[in-house]
Amino acid sequence: MKPLEKFLKKQGSHLAARAVPGSGGQLPRRQSVSKILLPGFLKEPPEDLTEGGTETTGDGRWLELRPPDSALRSPTSFSSEELSPGGGGGGETQLSPESVPTCCWVPLAEPENPDRLVGRVLERLGGDLTAPHGHGCGADILLDDIVLTHSLFLPTEQFLHQLYQHFMTASAIPSPPCWKEDEAVHRKRAVLIILLHFLETFKGILQEEEKAGKVIKDLYLLIMKDASLYHKLEDEILKLHQLVETVELKVTEETHPSSKQVKPLFRHFRRIDSCLQTRVAFRGSDEIFCRVYMPDHSYVTIRSRLSASVQDILTSVTEKLQYSDEQPTREEALILVAVASSGEKSVLQPNEECVFTTLGINSHLFACTKDTFPSLVPLPEEIQVSPGDTEIHRMEAEDVANHLTAFHWELFRCVHELEFVDYVFHGERGRRETANLELLLQRCSEVQHWVATEVLLCESVGKRTHLLKKFIKVAAVCKQHQDMLTFYAVVIGLNNAPVSRLRLTWEKLPGKFKNLFRKFENLTDPCRNHKSYREVLTRMKPPIIPFVPLILKDLTFLHEASKTLVDGLVNVEKLHSVAEKVRTIRKCRSRPLCLEMESSPQQLQTKAYVRQFQVIDNQNLLFELSHKLESNSQ
Amino acid sequence: MPEQSNDYRVVVFGAGGVGKSSLVLRFVKGTFRDSYIPTIEDTYRQVISCDKSICTLQITDTTGSHQFPAMQRLSISKGHAFILVYSVTSRQSLEELKPIYEQICQIKGDTESIPIMLVGNKNDEDHNREVQTTDGEAMAKKWKCAFMETSAKMNHNVKELFQELLNLEKRRTVSLQIDGKKSKQQKRKEKLKGKCVVM
């Protein structure tokens, strides 16, 4: 990475040098940092070209890579209508549909440092007020970019504080002599616009941010104080009232929502009754149950905040085990260790937070002393080889696929769009919980292991072939539902070496299914940066469940390929590209997914089965099973 | 993937605050504490002897204050023996055992071969007593199970409780007493026996 960074720096200074100060209005087309870097770095352009909806980047990154009218630029998959507000994507109302696809994204007049960027955006928003439709479309996108990605260069709390400061300045009497007549109102309105969009975008997750909540509260009170003076701001203020209410910010004095319901998060809480309920998003303050094991496989179940630190967890465990009371000196301090089913151990640091959702599927938390650490062994596998039919054999492929898609849609909907940003960029800032995204990723790998587990636990060749057929059908139906997450997971599961090496089983598969599976393999082929998949995705209209790991890969690429700050100036093009990516996720969810399913007892059984898989995630064990089934296969 | 079939699983049920965890912790760790931390579900393991070899006694301490019907059903179906705890200072806590007892009957069918111990805990608090010893005995007779009064605080009858419970097991011989060396010898003997049969 060293030469890369050097290269970036060079380009960065170039960028800064080229930006002519005071050029005003249109920015002279400058060369983008990432663009220069890319051709040698990656042969093909990232997904943006094909994943649709990114035409608006035109002015941004890829223009010089490929001419705008190049045949390789695939058509947008989403017409402007599909970007329509209120479609459930959240925070879209500021983006007027007609403006997005057509107009060019114009970054700020000149690069700015983090502390002054917000001021620039405000100027831009305020300046555009004279436009007939409030503010120009370019400003709309800029607004969305900043709200989605400000945390890359400025902690949310400070971002809000700056808004507060700007509002204060605009309230000063008399206003600075250089300001025009309505300047103060314009500036205030600009602050309001950002705040409104911010609230709409963040929504429920704001409840987790105490400090940010406090700044919003202050700003809200400040706005209310002189709201009556400005009739022109009436609409915005009305909206603000509504939003503050829906966000449930504790504007009135600390009225803590009393006991939240405890959510059972882990697979050892197989509560059929609760697993059938629609999943709601997890928040850091949610209380969950969690088992912590001892070296002898005894366990205690503790109740903990999802965001609890490792130290908090250890304190609860110690308390439960009555360590502190009776043997304060003799007992060595406990450490918390995650032990995977393969026996792999990793010690968790006391200050780590929110570790529950980052565990592997069959990993468990162990509390032990340094002395007993070497003796830790994983829990015995829960699952058993059963010679007879397991549940999956009695279920229809289509039903299984329907329930999978329905469940994964729920999980996907639970992920706040900002979790994607935080997941990739959290290294640069205080960590916000990304629990829902982590759970979705965990589920994705669970489905992969489920496929392998079911196939490998089936002892008869004929039935095994039948299972392969069933899984291929499941993949096909999921693809039809545009649930690419499940589709990918099932195909990857079938491609897992312990399964794919079962030559006898695959040979018995009818030609039709062999061909179908070959097609699926081609679709998931990562070559040319997942070209086939991206092309298929382009042709899809929402609702879509995208293959989320690829989105994270793309975001990681954006993150690593260009710096956020170049010589102290914010790389707004990077912010824009990240925000564009987030907007593709928004589009996927802009329409609700409705699958028609009966609620017969049989269907409920399938639903329960699909929502609580028991899988083997130990690759060695899967291989062992595979060799037992077909030892001589190559 | 061996299911630990030689585990002997004891499940402790009872209303919230009757002293289930205190009994279990007194037995497992020999400690007692006055403070109350509601239990969700904890399981402790201890080595015991079973049919002259070593096995693991698994004691599951369940919740009295949360409602987890599915988890309760699972514990019952997996359990080999049950301890039903009430507090002698609360008649209500004895009443609350009824549905649990009925569920054990329902899931296990023939309860007579299953060791069940009705336990009146906190018998050190005689001044607060609401349930007389005779009441407990009568209930045990009705349920055809064994009965004992204990005090986790005073360490009264705690070890006896677990030993008695294991004595009730007639399908195999389980005992808290293990003598490491002896059992090893026995194991070896059995191994030898096995080999003899093969020959």
Contacts of A449 by beta carbon, 8 Å cutoff, 6+ apart? A361, A493, A613, A615, A616, A617, A622
DSSP codes, A187-248: HHHHHHHHHHHHHHHHGGGGGG-HHHHHHHHHHHHHHHHTGGG-GGGHHHHHHHHHHHHHHT
Do the Cβ atoms of A418 and A493 come closer than 8 Å?
Answer: no
Least confident interval from A54-68, A227-241, A503-517, B26-40 = A54-68
Do the Cβ atoms of A247 and A204 come closer than 8 Å?
Answer: yes
Separation CA A429–CA A624 (nearest Å): 43
Structure tokens at B73: 């059903």
Instruction: Kindly give the residue spans of alpha helices, DSSP state H, lying in A428-571.
Output: 435-456, 461-480, 484-495, 497-500, 503-507, 511-523, 527-538, 548-561
The Cβ of residue A583 has, within 10 Å, a number of other Cβ atoms equal to 25
- The answer on pLDDT for A220 being more than 90 is no
Separation CA A559–CA A537 (nearest Å): 23
Least confident interval from A37-41, A441-445, B5-9, B24-28 = A37-41
pLDDT at A174: 66
pLDDT at A567: 86
Q: What is the mean pLDDT of residues B98-125?
A: 91
Best-predicted range by mean pLDDT among A8-12, A154-158, A469-473?
A: A469-473
Report the candidate in A14, A370, A438, A275 with the shortest Cα–Cα distance to residue B71. Answer: A275
CB within 8 Å: A301 and B71: no
Least confident interval from A324-333, A378-387, A464-473 = A324-333
- pLDDT, mean over chain B: 85
Do the Cβ atoms of B57 and A349 come closer than 8 Å?
Answer: no
- The answer on pLDDT for B9 being more than 90 is yes
Separation CA A351–CA A308 (nearest Å): 9
Do the Cβ atoms of A420 and A552 come closer than 8 Å?
Answer: yes
Separation CA A209–CA A197 (nearest Å): 17
Indicate the pLDDT class of residue A215, thresholds 50, 70 and 90: confident
CB-based contacts of B194-199 (< 8 A; 24+ apart in sequence): none
Separation CA A235–CA A414 (nearest Å): 31
pLDDT at B194: 46
- The answer on pLDDT for B183 being more than 50 is no
Separation CA A585–CA A330 (nearest Å): 54
Best-predicted range by mean pLDDT among A174-188, A202-216, A599-613, B74-88?
A: B74-88
pLDDT at A8: 36
Indicate the pLDDT class of residue B176, thresholds 50, 70 and 90: confident
Chain-centroid distance of CA A209 in Å reads 18
Question: Which residues in chain B touch residue A299, judged by CB atoms under 8 angstroms apart?
Answer: 42-43
Q: What is the mean pLDDT of residues A431-447?
A: 88
Least confident interval from A243-247, A456-460, A533-537, B168-172 = A243-247
Are β-strands A335-339 and B53-62 bridged in parallel, bridged antiparallel, or unpaired?
Answer: unpaired
The share of chain A scoring above pLDDT 70, in percent, equals 71
CA angle A454, A459, A460 (to 5 degrees): 110
pLDDT at B179: 58
pLDDT at B134: 96
- The nearest CA of chain B is from the CA of A104 a distance in Å of 57
pLDDT at B125: 94
Q: What is the mean pLDDT of residues A334-354?
A: 91
Separation CA B7–CA A154 (nearest Å): 56
Omega before residue A174 within 30° of 0, cis: yes
Tens of pLDDT along A92-137?
A: 333 333 333 434 556 666 778 888 888 888 888 876 544 444 445 5
- The answer on pLDDT for A80 being more than 60 is no
Tens of pLDDT along A142-154?
A: 899 999 999 888 8
Question: Which residues in chain A touch residue B22, judged by CB atoms under 8 angstroms apart?
Answer: none
Question: Which residues in chain B touch residue A298, judged by CB atoms under 8 angstroms apart?
Answer: 42-45
- Residue of A570 and A83 predicted with greater confidence: A570
- The answer on pLDDT for B8 being more than 60 is yes
The CA distances from residue A422 to A259, A436, A437, A552, A554, in Å, are: 28, 12, 10, 11, 14
pLDDT at A431: 59
Indicate the pLDDT class of residue A25, thresholds 50, 70 and 90: very low
The Cβ of residue A518 has, within 10 Å, a number of other Cβ atoms equal to 10
Question: Which residues in chain B touch residue A273, judged by CB atoms under 8 angstroms apart?
Answer: 69-70
- The answer on pLDDT for A29 being more than 90 is no
Q: What is the mean pLDDT of residues A62-91?
A: 35
Separation CA A336–CA A352 (nearest Å): 11
pLDDT at B81: 95
Where do we find the tokens 């941004």? A60
A303 touches chain B (CB under 8 A): yes
pLDDT at A269: 55
Q: What is the mean pLDDT of residues A499-522?
A: 96
Mutate: best of A273, A299, A313, A622, partner B, most B CBs <10 A = A299
Question: Helix or strand or coil: residue B163?
Answer: helix
A259 touches chain B (CB under 8 A): no
Q: Which conformational region is residue A248 in: left (phi greater than 0), alpha (psi within -120 to 50 degrees), or beta?
A: left
Indicate the pLDDT class of residue A546, thresholds 50, 70 and 90: very high
Looking at the DSSP bridge assignments, the partners of residue B147 are: B118
Tens of pLDDT along A557-605?
A: 999 988 888 888 999 899 999 999 999 999 999 999 988 888 888 999 9
pLDDT at A484: 97
pLDDT at A247: 64
Q: What is the mean pLDDT of residues A277-301?
A: 87
- The answer on pLDDT for A303 being more than 80 is yes
Indicate the pLDDT class of residue B144, thresholds 50, 70 and 90: very high
The Cβ of residue A351 has, within 10 Å, a number of other Cβ atoms equal to 8
Indicate the pLDDT class of residue A226, thresholds 50, 70 and 90: confident
pLDDT at A189: 85
Q: pTM of this prediction?
A: 0.79
Question: Which residues in chain A touch residue B44, judged by CB atoms under 8 angstroms apart?
Answer: 298
The Cβ of residue A532 has, within 10 Å, a number of other Cβ atoms equal to 16
Mutate: best of B20, B34, B35, B43, partner A, most A CBs <10 A = B43
Q: What is the mean pLDDT of residues A309-321?
A: 89
Separation CA A137–CA A127 (nearest Å): 13
A270 touches chain B (CB under 8 A): yes
Q: What is the mean pLDDT of residues A410-434?
A: 81
Q: What is the mean pLDDT of residues A59-87?
A: 35
- The answer on pLDDT for A191 being more than 60 is yes
B70 touches chain A (CB under 8 A): yes
Report the candidate in A458, A521, A515 with the shortest Cα–Cα distance to residue A495. Answer: A521
Q: What is the mean pLDDT of residues B76-103?
A: 95
Measured between its terminal Cα atoms, the distance across chain A in Å is 39
- pLDDT, mean over chain A: 77
Question: Which residues in chain A touch residue B39, judged by CB atoms under 8 angstroms apart?
Answer: 301
Tens of pLDDT along B39-84?
A: 988 999 998 888 778 889 999 999 987 777 778 888 899 999 999 9
Least confident interval from A31-40, A357-366, A508-517 = A31-40
- The answer on pLDDT for A332 being more than 90 is no
Least confident interval from A188-202, A389-403, B61-75 = B61-75
pLDDT at A100: 38
Tens of pLDDT along A615-628?
A: 999 999 999 999 99
